[in-house]
Structure formats: C-alpha cells, structure tokens
Amino acid sequence: MRTITLEEHYATPGFFDGPGRELKHRAETVGGRYANLIERLCDVGAKRLAEMDAAGIDMQVLSLTSPGVEQLAADEAIALAREANDYLAEAVKKHPTRFAGLAAVPTSAPDKAAAELERRVRDGFKGAVINGHNRGRYLDDPFHAPILECAEKLDVPIYIHPTPPPKPVLETYYGGFTPMLTEMLAGGAWGWHIETAVHVIRLISGGVFDRFPRLQVVIGHMGEGLPFMFQRFDIMPPAVTKLKRQYKDYLRENVHYTFSGFNFPPAFLDLFLELGGVDRIMFSADHPYQSMKAARAFLEQIPASASDKERIAHGNAEKLFRL
C-alpha cells in the first residue's frame, strides 16, 4: 500500500537563528532529544529517506516547522519564507518521487505572501502552510484576503498548523504553573489544538468560505478536537450566524483532516462517523516529532476497509494535492 504523509516538518539552519532559536538554545543547553530534533529537521536527504524506507513511507509532503514565519515582522518573514522555500525546492528537485512541498508564506505581508505562494505553486509546490495566527490576527481578518483569494484561484489547499495562542490568552489560560507545565499545556498537550480549532471556527464564523467557497484547508491531529463538536454548532441559527450553511457543512466540505501523531482509535472513529466516511481523512506521521513506524502501524490497524485504507494512505492526498 502506497503511503503519503502530510504533516512532516523540516527547517533550515538559518531558521534556528530566528523563530527556532528557543529549540536551538535547548539543544545547546539540554542536548539529547532537542539536538537530535534539529539534526533531523534540517536533514532532507539520505538519513530522512532511510527512516522513511524503514517505516514504509513512500512520500512526505514537507512544511516548515512551527512556529514558522507567522510571528515575524514583515521584512523578516519575507526573507525567511523565501530562504525556507528555496531550501525545500532543492530537496524536492533532488527527490521528486519522495518529497513534495508546502510553501511558507509571510502572512504579515499578505500581498507578498500571495505572490510567494503563486510563484512556488507555479514551480511545483502543492499549497501553503500557515502556522496559526499572525501576532493575534487570524485568517478571517480581511487583511489576509489576498492569501485566501490566491489559494482559491490556484486551487491549492492551506494547511493550518498549530501554534501557541496569543500571549494574553496563554497567560490567562495557562499561567500560574511551572514554566514547563505552562508550555506543555499551551502547546502539544492541549492548547495549540484548541487554538487551531478556534482558528477554523473563526474562518467559518467570519464568512471566509462563503466569500471563497472553493477554498480548502487542512488541519491535523484528527481534527484538533472539532469532530466532537460538529452537532453542537447546530444551536446557532442562521439568523445569528448570517452564514449560507451550517457549521458542520463547512467542516465537511471545506476542511480536510490528517492523523499527525494522533494514533488513537476512538479519535479516528469519531472523525470517521462525523464525516460519514473517509473522503477527507488523510494519513500523516508528524515527523520528526512523532514516530513514522508507529503511524504506519496504526494505519494498518484502523477499523476501515482495505479500499478505505488505500484512500486514507494515499488516494485522498493524491487527489487534493495533485501528487
């Protein structure tokens, strides 16, 4: 069974002198796992390919690791996005059957972001990755309309990757604990999944999919908690929302979902049942933060038919990203 993973990360050496400097600091002071992460993020060659072969992964769709360029000032974001995309383009050029790319875009400069996305897609990139809000401003803000308009025009998806919530939210919700506990609660243990769910709800509530009905977004981690809430959104009548459809319709028609490290059968079943099938569910491993081997083993074990597994493993990704 062919396998394509969709939330797989890389970084450039220069990234660790900018938005990735905290990870670099930990690598230098703590070492161990952190140092290993930097090495594996920057590797888009032989070692990564060997790990993919060992795990049974045929292709990775690569994206710049969190926190991306979204929290940078415009000039810095433009420069780093260009550098990162050049780095990724070279890797894809060397290994076109094993790697594909999602473009980093400077959301703090929407016109430049749209131009960068269009240029990269024309050169073979498969869409964009956006690591959450831009200093507290979300994609529903009209400020970001050029990016959304460009993605719809090019018919490419936007992968919305988690990021920590804006600082006031982080301090209010997760402050008062030890620094490490606050960081974990606000991050991968809870907060950034809820943050991404909020981002998607803002897109719907702000009428983004009414203005750009063909726009498609992708989120990871079995839906970032949203499938559990599909039915609950029905309590909001159209007279209040002013939307053309119900929330669950947008979640079933404009959003796609990947595994990305959530190798949990109940989470998969909830997503499957709320979507009414596997048409919008896609495989991923979240390399190098999670195990490709564990993801591949989970794929084999999910309660789905052989044909559904094929669509999850590669068919849906091939269709959406034109791989």
Q: Which residues of 205-232 are buried (b: 16+ CB within 10 A; e: fewer)?
A: bbebbeebeebbbbbbbbbbbbbeebee
Residue pair 281/312 in contact (Cβ under 8 Å)? The answer is: yes
% pLDDT > 70, the chain: 99
Asked if residue 31 has pLDDT above 70, the reply is no
Please give the biggest Cα pair distance in the chain.
56
Answer for the pair 125, 103: CB distance below 8 angstroms, yes or no.
yes
CA–CA dist 85, 261 (Å, integer): 25
Could you tell me the pLDDT band of residue 165, with boundaries at 50, 70 and 90? very high
Tokens of 16: 């660790």
Residue-level pLDDT at 139: 98
Q: Which of 317, 321, 319 is nearest to 57 (CA)?
A: 317
Whether the pLDDT of residue 32 is over 90: the answer is no
Does residue 308 contact residue 298 with C-beta atoms inside 8 Å? no
Q: How open is the CA angle 15-55-92, to the nearest 5 degrees?
A: 45
Each residue's pLDDT tens digit, 51-108: 999 999 999 999 999 999 999 999 999 999 999 999 999 999 999 999 999 999 999 9
- The correct CATH number of 4-321 out of 3.40.190.10, 2.40.37.10, 3.20.20.140, 3.20.20.70 is 3.20.20.140
Tell me the mean pLDDT in the region 225-229.
97
58 is catalytic: no
pLDDT score of 24: 75
Domain boundaries, the chain: 4-321
What mean pLDDT is predicted for residues 6-33? Answer: 85
Residue 34 has pLDDT above 90, yes or no: no
Give percent above pLDDT 90 in the chain: 94
Residues 293-300 have a mean pLDDT of 98
Above 80 in pLDDT, residue 115?
Answer: yes
What count of Cα atoms within 13 Å lies in the side-chain half-sphere of residue 191? 19
pLDDT higher than 80, residue 135: yes
For the cut 80, the answer to whether the pLDDT of residue 26 exceeds it is no
Mean per-residue pLDDT over the chain, rounded: 96
pLDDT at 25: 75
Q: What is the pLDDT of residue 158?
A: 98
Q: pLDDT (tens digit, 9 = 90+) per residue, 249-275?
A: 999 999 999 999 999 999 999 999 999
Q: Which of these is catalytic: 140, 270, 286, 308?
A: 286
Give the pLDDT of residue 18. 92
> 3-state secondary structure string, the chain?
CCCEEEEEEECCHHHHHCCCHHHHHHHHHCCCHHHHHHHHHHCCCHHHHHHHHHHCCCEEEEEECCCCCCCCCHHHHHHHHHHHHHHHHHHHHHCCCCEEECEECCCCCHHHHHHHHHHHHHCCCCCEEECCCECCECCCCHHHHHHHHHHHHHCCCEEECCCCCCHHHHHHHHCCCCHHHHHHHHCCCCHHHHHHHHHHHHHHHCCHHHHCCCCCEEECHHHCCHHHHCCHHHHCCHHHHCCCCCHHHHHHHCEEEECCCCCCHHHHHHHHHHHCCCCCEECCCCCCCCCHHHHHHHHHHCCCCHHHHHHHHHHHHHHHHCC
